[in-house]
Structure 1
Amino acid sequence: MSILSLIRRELANAFLHDARRAIFLFGAATAYLILFGILYYPGVVKEIPTVVCDEEHTAYSRLLIRQVDDDERLGLVRVVADEGEARDMLRQKEVYAAVIIPADFSHDILNGRSAKVLFMLNGANIITTNIATTAGNDIVNTFNTRFAARQAALRTSGDEQMLKKRISPVETTLRVLNNPTQSYMMFFVTGLAMAAMQQGFFLAIGAAVQCDFRNPELKGTSKGKLLVVKVGVYWVLSILSFGLVCVLARLLGIPDRASIQSLGLLAGAFSFAAISLGLFASSIFHNELQFVRASVMYTVPAFIFGGYTWPLEAMDPVTQVVAQAFPMAWMSNAVRELFLSGHLATLSHNLTALTVMGVIFFSLGSWIFLHKIDGVK
């Protein structure tokens, strides 16, 4: 067969005779992107169900309740008078945060003692826990400033706003670059899409390789030519799949500040590494089912060790070394960094690592593939 005939054969197999390969290549990442993009579309967690237990019912406790109600991160569900009722609501997951204002709240304040306010949180979900904790600290700090300014104004007949600035002369201003709303969609969704895309690459190239092991009609075809065309066709299709992910991500509102050149180079290097790894792995197994089982077992560890959800820098030295053996470690965080900031200082390093991985896996996979296909012919 000529090279052109082999290319037509691979495309026909991928899109006509075994269309699941095209679905793997283009459908896996887009399905995850759309599904989780819709799920995380609000971007930030707000209105966490909260109950306040007011055991005192004074102007001071009502001021604190008002601040809880005004904070958009917390959604005040109910104000109760009994701490046991608040604990029951928390235990039954009617709320995820509870604020307990004790009966001696204002008494301690007026007598110069530190008043205790208890924040109880359901720690099963660390996202809501962290957000509610930050909200609680902000509410207490604001209350302290407002209370001190009000008391000083009453004693001196001064202006409360001016006194507030004198009592608390320093204000903290938060400026978050690249993801200013701290949107979870921008943080998480692209990584899931990359993990699904990699799995799609594996399943597609795996089906193509296993098909040739069962195909006696390839007799007389140059083995080396067949291998190069196969890898080349799926490499190009993989880059196109990545391009589709980028377009859909932009349509979903995920910022894409990266240059086409940077994304293209990263897509090319990662596709080469992933396709070569798929070639190597699929050539090892005796049939496609065994390969599919192994690739599914690989996906989750690759995503976790990739450092997308837990930073590589926070892992122990041994785990960091293991993580760097996964192509995802050089791809997922890099894509997020390029999407959100438009720049990746380690781009050349990532490209080199992915290319080296690709060369190693391609060499090993080619050797096994050519030896096994000899048995078919």
Structure 2
Amino acid sequence: MSNFTRLFWQEWHSIFRNKTIRMVLLVVPVLYFTLFGFLYSEKKVMEIPTVLVDADQTELSRELHRAFEADQTFHISEIVGTEAEAMRLIDEGKAYVGVIIPANLEKDVKAGREAEVLTIIDGSNMMISNTSVRAANTVIKSVSAGVTLKKLEARGDWGEEGKTLFTGIDYRYRVLYNPAFSYLSFMVFGLGGTVLQQVLFLGVALSVTRQKEEGTWLGLLSQNGFAVLAAGKLLPYLLVATFNLVLTFTLLLKGFGVPYYGNPAHVLLIGTAFNIAVLAIGFAISFFSKDQLQATQIAMLIAVPSFMLSGFTWPFMSMPDGIAAIGQSLPLTYFLHAVREILSKGHGLSFIAHDFAVLGFMTLLGLFAAYLAYLSQAKKRTDLRVHESTSV
């Protein structure tokens, strides 16, 4: 048997003997693609919360209202009286699209004067904005075509004379926060947060398991309480993570000139809360993992799909409930939402209070899980000492 053949079969058998490697190579890809298949099972963005302003209150405006309700893309969640009210709801994130039907729309159409319907669209999520622009245009043009056909039929103008008849309603849209549909303004914040999370998860997840493999972990447990252990272990990673956060967003905002409208100092605050939550979860993973390979596997299992499940690109409204629940249990979801609120929309801290609260809860949950593991492992260390002294 040649050296190549012997090495090949040794490695082949080792893949199937090692449970962790077998999971990484054979189970994780199937798990991810099953997850992503369910994630996009709706196939398109639907039921986008939409606010309607009907200043015309005529049969034509009611027909437009019915047309938007009938289209699966939109969900008329509120009807308000003014454009300012619609803008407020969009700014607060309670709606993503505003349909503004102006006064005298039906009169202008009947008189052959210029008539138009305006849609105001939240452009901070390009999947929503692109879908909304196309779908709203289709809805309005369909209603407009119906109006034109009715007028032609009533007048009998089906020949050359009919071509001069006013063709109905024009469609106009205004995109907020990202009017140029720039992928640079949209994608880089999400990708930046994803990289920061992945690096931090891996670093802290290996912090305890490294010492487990070196055989020094139980000794460290006996010498330090949990608070000292957590602070001493996590603070160095927090300092490095803060440096990476500042460097990353300085590079994006100043180096690449990505436009922003809020206070970057607020990104530092929410970024610190995010880093601490990731550290707490990674610390718990490290406690429960038996070695570095297992810790890496668990950390990657969480970190890799986080961006897809965060609602940053594919909105939660178009996810199955189970997949949305997974996405809403990940720290990256709340960090990216806060970054978009601050930098893309120019909002202050009051708009991200919920993100702070959830990240704080995740931190407590991670530290509590790590503390339970600490108590269990410290007890094992004590029992081992008692057994050794009894044996002697």
Range of TM-score over shorter length: 0.5 to 0.7
Matched, 1:338 2:337: no
Match of 1:324 in 2: 328
Q: Which runs of 5+ in 1 are unaligned?
A: 1-125, 145-154, 157-162
Matched, 1:361 2:359: no
Deviation at 1:297, TM superposition (A): 2.4
Contact preservation (8 Å) 1:223, 1:370: no
Write the letter of the residue equivalent to 1:272.
I
Deviation at 1:249, TM superposition (A): 0.9
Q: What does residue range 249-260 of structure 1 map to in structure 2 within 5 Å?
A: 249-250=252-253, 251-260=255-264
d(CA) in 2 for partners of 1:216 and 1:315?
45
Deviation at 1:331, TM superposition (A): 1.4
Deviation at 1:298, TM superposition (A): 2.1
Give CA-to-partner distance per residue, 1:164-191, whole Å, 9 cap, x none.
Answer: xx84686544321111111122222221
d(CA) in 1 for partners of 2:259 and 2:225?
44
Match of 1:294 in 2: 298
Deviation at 1:243, TM superposition (A): 1.3
Judging changes above 3 Å, is the alpha-carbon distance between structure 1 residues 184 and 232 closer, same or farther for their aligned structure 2 residues? Answer: same
Structure 1 segments, 4+ long, off by >6 Å, are none
Deviation at 1:226, TM superposition (A): 2.8
Q: What does residue range 169-184 of structure 1 map to in structure 2 within 5 Å?
A: 171-184=170-183
Match of 2:279 in 1: 275
Q: What does residue range 1-377 of structure 1 map to in structure 2 within 5 Å?
A: 167=166, 171-213=170-212, 214=214, 216=216, 221-224=223-226, 225-250=228-253, 251-343=255-347, 346-369=351-374, 371-372=376-377, 375=381
Contact preservation (8 Å) 1:227, 1:366: no
Deviation at 1:330, TM superposition (A): 1.0
Write the letter of the residue equivalent to 2:289.
F
Deviation at 1:371, TM superposition (A): 4.3
Contact preservation (8 Å) 2:334, 2:355: yes
d(CA) in 2 for partners of 1:261 and 1:227?
27
d(CA) in 2 for partners of 1:304 and 1:332?
12
SS in 2 for 1:331: helix
SS in 2 for 1:277: helix
d(CA) in 1 for partners of 2:357 and 2:313?
23
Give CA-to-partner distance per residue, 1:319-344, whole Å, 9 cap, x none.
Answer: 33332211122112321232211216
SS in 2 for 1:230: helix
Q: Which runs of 5+ in 2 are unaligned?
A: 1-125, 146-159, 386-392
Match of 1:90 in 2: none
Between the two proteins, the alignment pairs up a number of residues equal to 238
Give CA-to-partner distance per residue, 1:44-83, whole Å, 9 cap, x none.
Answer: xxxxxxxxxxxxxxxxxxxxxxxxxxxxxxxxxxxxxxxx
Deviation at 1:283, TM superposition (A): 1.4
Question: What is the TM-score with the length of structure 1 in the denominator?
Answer: 0.53
Write the letter of the residue equivalent to 2:248.
V
Contact preservation (8 Å) 2:198, 2:304: no
Write the letter of the residue equivalent to 2:242.
I
d(CA) in 2 for partners of 1:190 and 1:356?
24
d(CA) in 1 for partners of 2:241 and 2:375?
23
Judging changes above 3 Å, is the alpha-carbon distance between structure 1 residues 207 and 351 closer, same or farther for their aligned structure 2 residues? Answer: same
Judging changes above 3 Å, is the alpha-carbon distance between structure 1 residues 323 and 346 closer, same or farther for their aligned structure 2 residues? Answer: farther
d(CA) in 1 for partners of 2:251 and 2:243?
12
Deviation at 1:221, TM superposition (A): 3.9
Question: What is the TM-score with the length of structure 2 in the denominator?
Answer: 0.51
d(CA) in 2 for partners of 1:187 and 1:173?
23
Write the letter of the residue equivalent to 1:222.
N
SS in 1 for 2:305: helix
Judging changes above 3 Å, is the alpha-carbon distance between structure 1 residues 238 and 351 closer, same or farther for their aligned structure 2 residues? Answer: same
SS in 2 for 1:174: strand
Contact preservation (8 Å) 1:179, 1:186: yes
Contact preservation (8 Å) 2:198, 2:303: yes
Deviation at 1:244, TM superposition (A): 1.3
d(CA) in 2 for partners of 1:298 and 1:325?
10
Deviation at 1:367, TM superposition (A): 3.0
Judging changes above 3 Å, is the alpha-carbon distance between structure 1 residues 322 and 346 closer, same or farther for their aligned structure 2 residues? Answer: farther
SS in 2 for 1:175: strand
Deviation at 1:253, TM superposition (A): 2.3
d(CA) in 2 for partners of 1:262 and 1:329?
17
SS in 1 for 2:175: coil
Match of 1:103 in 2: none
| CA root-mean-square deviation | 4.2
Contact preservation (8 Å) 1:191, 1:333: no
d(CA) in 2 for partners of 1:313 and 1:187?
19
Deviation at 1:366, TM superposition (A): 3.0
d(CA) in 1 for partners of 2:345 and 2:279?
28
